[in-house]
Chains A and B, each alone.
Chain A
Amino acid sequence: MYAFDYKSPSSLSEAADMLQSSDDGVLLAGGHTLLPTMKQRLASASDLIDLGGVSELRGISVSGGQVTIGAMTTHAEVAASSEVANAIAALADLAGGIGDPQVRNAGTIGGSIANSDPSADYPAALVGLGATINTNSRSIAADDFFTGMFDTALDENEIITQVSFPIPDAAGYSKFPNPASRYAVVGVFVSRSSDGVRVAVTGAGPSVFRVAEMEAALADSFSAASVAGISVSDDDLNSDIHASAEYRAHLVTVMAKRAVQKAGG
């Protein structure tokens, strides 16, 4: 790792001040992408600002038809939360399938979405449920948040504080995990609510995306058969040693069918 100054704020405002006043400050959440990247010297920071001591960024609450999760809440906490499981079982299920137990004990929802890894699970849930990302300065709709591969709508000195998920009538998530990393080769999150149907795909493209044709078909008839004949173009999909773009396109339909089945359709 290149050298950095380690900072350990105890409040959100202190963290924001440290970030603002640093030359090239970087926030440290669970660290499970940032630290490996820094170890390889692919990332560096003048100041590493550890949010681990900012207790106001942790916690889960359910009220007013929303599940709200603090940015520093770990995947294990979301997976084990009976409140989340009762309100949006698919969300707890998704969190419980990220990485492995030790990764889930360290990784956080805020860190995951700020990183916007094309294969991360959480972006599918945020877009698939129409979540809202709250920061220390504003609220951002999930549809506007993920802007590209490892890219988000966050400003340079903005800190995610919490994510609010509207509770749907039904939801399901299905992924084809990379057998080594458990990242999603393709993951599809489907939800149905009074606002309509959402189908969000992670792993397949540079960033999470919705499939309008599937959403329309499911709005007509919420069943796996409705999406069985709908495929996405492989033109802009990812292709790597794990899966070709063509294979990923195929998996989108398969995972969408399974997600709809999990959602009761």
Chain B
Amino acid sequence: MTVAISMTINGQSVSADVDARTLLVDFLRVNQRLTGTHVGCDTSQCGACVVHVNGKSVKSCTMLAAQASDAEVTTIEGVANGGELHPMQAAFRDNHGLQCGFCTPGVIMSALDLVSVNSDPSEQEIREWLEGNLCRCTGYHNIVKSIQAGARAMREA
């Protein structure tokens, strides 16, 4: 079955006819060519596919594109201001918060959701919030530092 969907992605209105089975992550990557959102485990555990739907972080591998119809979707591509990195992105660069970088888009989208509900998270709160984001390189230490620095920069912005 084909379904007609429309949504706003990073501020732009998008409409398409897709197979009802299309996952949101595949719609973003294949149809919209927004390949910053990654597929890691494809089983809703690793968090590489985290995007925002109506301002809340979700795993786009476990959501149909049709479920996001009429929603506001933000991906990692919608975070920077033109050529200027978002303070959270800059914090990851400044604090060596990534190594291979595969998990980073999902971690940043998750971190931005955390800051939206808790502007000054403690190290413990950050570590608990990252329960749904797996990183196989860093051991998380610099990710936590990056998120603390990013949250600070966002408070001061």
Contact = CB atoms under 8 A, between A and B. Distances in A.
Contacts of A36: 43-44, 62
Contacts of B69: 8
Contact of A101 (B3, B57, B62): B57
Interface in A56-94: 76, 80
Given A31-B62, A101-B110, A103-B59, A3 B20 contact: yes
Contacts of A100: 47, 131-133
B113 to A, nearest CB: 7
A181 interface: yes
A23 interface: no
B64 interface: yes
A19 to B, nearest CB: 17
B9 interface: no
Contacts of A31: 62-64, 67
Nearest to B57: A102
Contact of B110 (A4, A102, A180, A182): A102
B67 A32 contact: no
B67 A4 contact: no
A1 B21 contact: yes
B110 A35 contact: no
A39 B59 CA distance: 15
Contacts of B110: 101-102
B113 A101 contact: yes
Chain B CB within 10 A, most for which of A39, A76, A80 = A39
Given A4-B20, A48-B20, A105-B57, A180 B67 contact: no
B30 interface: no
B56 interface: yes
A32 B110 CA distance: 18
Contacts of B23: 35
A180 B45 CA distance: 8
Interface residues of B, number: 30
B39 to A, nearest CB: 12
B28 interface: no
A35 B20 contact: no
A180 to B, nearest CB: 7
Given A31-B67, A39-B42, A106 B62 contact: yes
Interface in B1-15: 1, 3
Given A99-B132, A102-B58, A105-B57, A35 B63 contact: yes
B107 to A, nearest CB: 12
Interface in A93-113: 99-103, 105-106
Contacts of A32: 44, 62
Contact of A4 (B21, B50, B114): B21
Contacts of A151: none
Contacts of B129: 101
B37 to A, nearest CB: 13
12 contacts: A3-B21, A6-B3, A8-B66, A35-B64, A36-B62, A39-B42, A48-B64, A80-B117, A100-B132, A106-B62, A106-B63, A180-B45
Interface of A: 1, 3-6, 8, 28, 31-32, 35-36, 39, 48, 50, 52, 76, 80, 99-103, 105-106, 180-182
